[in-house]
Amino acid sequence: MRNNDIDSLFSFIDSSPTPYHAVENMVQTLKDQNGIELNESEDWECEADNLYYVTRNDGSIIAFRTPKTIDFNNVAYNMVAAHTDSPCLKLKPVKKDVTGNYIQWGVAIYGGALLNSWLDRDLNVSGRINYIQQGELHQKLISIRDLFFRVPQLAIHLDREANAGLKLNSETNMVPVLGLNNDDEYSFEDLLLERLDVEGVEAKDISAMDLYFHESQPCSYGGMKQEFIFGPRIDNLAMTHASYEALLAGSSNTKVGLIASFDHEEIGSSSPHGASSNFLNSVLERITIALGGSREEFLKALNRSYLVSADMAHALHPNYEDRHDGVHRPLINQGPVIKMNARMRFATDSQTTSRFVLLCRQAGVPYQMFTGRNDIPSGSTVGPLIATKLGVSTIDVGNAQLGMHSAREMAGSLDHSMMIKVFSELFAE
Ligand SMILES: [Zn+2]
């Protein structure tokens, strides 16, 4: 069941190994669609029926389309929020000592990674390097895709209990092997400098790095009828991609259509550019002002607004059927999943659900209800955080997937287009 939406998602995921690359790719697409860049440190002027975007720290992005006519009695924000980050292995600032003749570099575990899935995978390194040149601060993204590194698993002969319950120490057992220490003294820093490729910059000029080991194998279709998709970072580049595809598809007569994709969701969203920051709130107020409105008009518009928090959902796992409530068991390729939690770990309530159900009906798309078992604590996402801060009606939804937070995840090849259709209905309102 190949389709264009999945082909486009695959090229987005494969070219977005880190949040910085995801944002860079989105910016490029927005530019191609005549999107206008806004900078938080400058004055903003916005007009009707235009596409704008603003980034923070190069890992979070907000893009919006202004309505065809500005009438502050009707202006509201129809929003979709997602995240750009995924669990991975982040390089620590200083390299590890050589063990035997292996060259290694220590890593911190970024987010709730399923550590076993990172063993014996061919890993690449990507991220950003900060350097100082002639007293000025600079930054450049790098992505090493032609060289592969590994966290080798201990052989079964040396760990007879491995299949009875693999125990991994996140500090000592997850350190990738980068090469062998030969006499030529070519180091990993030399490689990074080579790939940074800036004339005149030497090793001593590199001041800091945000680099990540990530899965190297490209996305692929799976299953007898290609009903599945396999790939890294489906959580949550899939929802990020679906939201911007819908935003680019069209505009509304009276509402501002907006997408926000935040870094740092996997580590709790508390950072200057995470979903718990003032990024979205500040951008929304500035849009109102830039369109000629007042603070009063901003607060009124907020009250009329609606936020869809879109993050992947857990599909029923055939080998662990008991992990789901008996009737709330999302199925792959059966449409968007509405996530509910009585303790508001998801922001969904009956009103926001009803509005989403109407959007699904208008889009001709089925939907599914999810709530977890009472004896398994629920995960959460950006929805409740933003809803609490902004006081905006919010729903949490996502498409069904398996292996969430694995180095390589699995979802359906039909669900993606369905979610894009529902978001497009929202942005056309
Ligand atoms: Zn997620």
Q: What is the pLDDT of residues 150-171, one digit of tens each?
A: 999 999 999 999 999 999 999 9
Please state the φ and ψ torsions of residue 103, each to the nearest 5 degrees: -95, 125
Ligand 1 centroid distance, CA of 201 (Å)? 37
How buried is 387 (Cβ within 10 angstroms: 0-12 exposed, 13-18 middle, 19+ buried)?
buried
Ligand 1 centroid distance, CA of 161 (Å)? 32
Q: What is the pLDDT of residues 125-158, one digit of tens each?
A: 999 999 999 999 999 999 999 999 999 999 999 9
Residue 184, pLDDT > 80, answer no
Cα-to-chain-centroid distance, residue 233:
7
Q: What is the pLDDT of residues 284-312, one digit of tens each?
A: 999 999 999 999 999 999 999 999 999 99
Ligand 1 centroid distance, CA of 132 (Å)? 34
Q: Given this model, what pLDDT does residue 200 score? A: 93
Ligand 1 centroid distance, CA of 116 (Å)? 19
Query: How many C-alpha atoms does 250 have within 13 Å on its Cβ side?
Result: 13
With tokens 């969203």, the residue in question is 269
Residue 95, pLDDT > 90, answer no
Residues with CB under 5 A from ligand 1 (ion): 235-236, 311
Where exactly are the structural domains of the chain?
Answer: 4-86+232-428, 88-215
Ligand 1 centroid distance, CA of 238 (Å)? 10
Residues, the chain:
429
Ligand 1 centroid distance, CA of 63 (Å)? 20
Are 188 and 91 in contact, with CB atoms under 8 Å apart? no
Ligand 1 centroid distance, CA of 382 (Å)? 9
218: which DSSP letter?
Answer: P
Please state the φ and ψ torsions of residue 309, each to the nearest 5 degrees: -90, 115
Assigned CATH class of 88-215: mainly beta
Ligand 1 centroid distance, CA of 179 (Å)? 33
User: Strands of 393-398's sheet, edge to edge?
Assistant: 36-37, 51-56, 60-65, 256-262, 77-83, 306-310, 393-398, 337-339, 368-370
Ligand 1 centroid distance, CA of 406 (Å)? 12
Ligand 1 centroid distance, CA of 239 (Å)? 9
Q: Which CATH superfamily is domain 4-86+232-428 in?
A: Zn peptidases (3.40.630.10)
Ligand 1 centroid distance, CA of 13 (Å)? 14
Q: Given this model, what pLDDT does residue 268 score? A: 92
Please state the φ and ψ torsions of residue 155, each to the nearest 5 degrees: -60, 150
Are 346 and 383 in contact, with CB atoms under 8 Å apart? yes
DSSP bridge partners of 258: 64, 79
Q: What is the mean pLDDT of residues 19-33?
A: 97
Average pLDDT value for the chain: 95
**Alpha carbon distance 309, 312 (integer Å):** 10
Give the CA angle between residues 207, 112, 324 to the nearest 5°: 160
Ligand 1 centroid distance, CA of 155 (Å)? 32
